[in-house]
Structure 1
Amino acid sequence: MEQEIAKIAERWDAFLIKIENRFHEIVNEANAALPALLLVENFDTTAFGVAYQGIETQLKELISKISDTYQEKVTPALEEIQEREEAAVEDREGSLDEFYARFYPLYEREQNKGLTLQHQLDRELRIAGIRVPAAAAHLLHDEARKALAKTFQCTQCQAPLPLRNNFFRSYYQTCDYCQTVNTFEPGTIARNVEHYALHALAEEAAFEEALAYYDMELKYRSQRDDESPVLSKEELLQCYTAYAEKYLKARIEIIPDYANQYESDLASRIEHVRKWTLGEHGLDFSIPSNEERSR
């Protein structure tokens, strides 16, 4: 039995290595090409968004192949061995408990290989989902600032006027030369920065908190109903709140007007987590027990 499972494990290992290598190839290509695409498209975010969605779909499909292949190839092969060995044990009136003590650790070892890589790549996808859009957002933000700085001049004397860091909203600027009060209008490019870049830059600012919440949520979802919980709902909610606060405050640093809706945005986000993560929908990733698998 052990030799048969070893051969299955060898093929399974080779498949997992192939998936991991291909995943990293795609991520590296995205890191190199997507921000540059924004430059090629003259800072039109539509093409970037379509390209990133396509890459994200590819990565998710690779991750899904892990569980699909395990269910389609590995599980049937292991269960065939299990059924055959169980029958042999019963024929000789042996102990099924002794067989299970040998078999299930090997079964779980192969299952855990897939789960471990799946979780690893899910986490790397989350990281890429922050870093790649943020890199493009910085390019867009900088380009908007340079373009607006060239055109913001006093309407009276044509003297160049300084551009504020927060140039997403209209504001008044007094000319140092003639004291004329000028109205700054951000225009399409700056509004496009707000539309696209705001979320990406705020996510980047809350990077550590986002990953901390990702890791804790995974641990929470992995808890089994038949075991004492390691993480409580309150602990997970506190971790999420730290992320949400950092994210929302980062938005305010970019656009101060968002301070007016900070409390309502925070409450809405927390309520969403309460309902969909901490409620009955939050326990659908529990790992089955040995007894459940043998039924």
Structure 2
Amino acid sequence: MSARAHERWAAFLKQIADRHKLVSDEAEQGARAALAECGYDPTPVASAWGAVTHRLQELERRIIDTWNEKVGDTFQAEGYDQATWDSERRKGEDLAFALENARQALEMRVLANGAREMFGRALATQKERLCPRCGAQLAIPFTHRAINVTCAHCNSVGTFEPGALLRTVVAFAEHPVSWEAAQQEWLAMRIAERRIRDTRSPAPLALLKDYERAQIAYWFRYIGTRVHFAPELRDVAHEVRSRMDGWYRMSAEHEQEWVRAGRPREVF
């Protein structure tokens, strides 16, 4: 590959990555300011985030679109071998994948951080945040339920009853905060899924099992966190099995190697 062709493709990928980060940074700062302007009502910010998602997705799509429309043909016309062509295309695919993951993490971070800020502000309006005995501020966790809290200063126990505003904030926070806790498991799940997509059909059983385990790990971490907000999810294993059922029925059942191996579901 000529140095010029190589450098132009690398420069294009860097331009996309830099632009993606700039849009993301501006959106994150803008969301923080907009939340304050809206009186810490999360609804307008959450609704407006669709435009940010659209801009970022356009940048992500531009990578492979540009390769398909221009770059790939140029490399082939100049006589470069298939291995080099595959390697350079893969660089674009890897970047697009990384940017997709960054976009998801950005959205969840913005929503979770906004919820935490709203929680702190809502909490400050409630007298129950103070110890009824010594007046010290109690350490109140994210909660939408009445709970007993032990004062770190005098060890007396006070009851905290969240008001309507706090309940609304916690409901808004439930998904992004839980997702943040499971971010590493989510990324591992994405990687396992991608490995299956990159493999010619039929997918090997080993990759299917890796993806199954990655999904289970994600759901256990996600629901295990979310149960703090939604006690009705306390049977975490049951909830995980319920969420996995769709994959078993809609995906695994259509994989030859999975069926041939006797549908070897993980037991938990």
Tell me the residue number matched to 1:58.
55
Aligned 1:139-150 pairs, distance under 5 A: 139-149=117-127
Q: Distance in 2 between matches of 1:132 and 1:205?
A: 14
Distance between the aligned counterparts of 2:113 and 2:42, measured in 1? 13
Asked if 1:67 is matched to 2:75, the reply is: no
Residue 245 of structure 2: aligned partner: 271
| Aligned counterpart for 2:220 among listed residues 241, 245, 248 | 245
Q: What's the CA shift for 1:72?
A: 0.9
**In structure 1, what is the equivalent of residue 88 of structure 2?**
110
Pair member with larger Rg: 1
Correspondence list, 1:1-295, <5 A? 2-3=1-2, 6-81=3-78, 103-149=81-127, 165=141, 167-169=143-145, 184=161, 186-187=163-164, 189-225=165-201, 229=204, 231-259=206-234, 262-275=236-249, 278=252, 280=254
Measured in 2, the distance between the counterparts of 1:224 and 1:191 equals 48
Are the aligned partners of 2:129 and 2:160 in contact in 1 as well (CA < 8 Å)?
no
Relative to structure 1, the CA distance from residue 208 to residue 26 in structure 2 (aligned partners, 3 Å threshold; closer, same or farther) is same
* Percent of paired sites with the same residue: 24
CA shift at 1:230, angstroms? 8.0
Q: Give secondary structure in 1 for the equivalent of 2:228.
A: helix
Q: Residues 163 and 120 from structure 1, CA distance in 2 versus in 1: closer, same or farther, beyond 3 angstroms?
A: closer
The whole-number CA distance in structure 1 between the counterparts of 2:111 and 2:142 is 20
| Deviation of the 1:185 alpha carbon | 6.6
Letter in 2 for 1:190: L
**TM-score, scaled to structure 1:** 0.69
Contact residue 38 and residue 44 of structure 2 kept, 8 A: yes
Structure 1: gaps spanning 5 or more residues: 83-101, 174-181, 282-295
The alignment's C-alpha RMSD in Å is 3.5
How many correspondences in the alignment? 244
Query: How high is the TM-score relative to the length of structure 2?
Result: 0.75
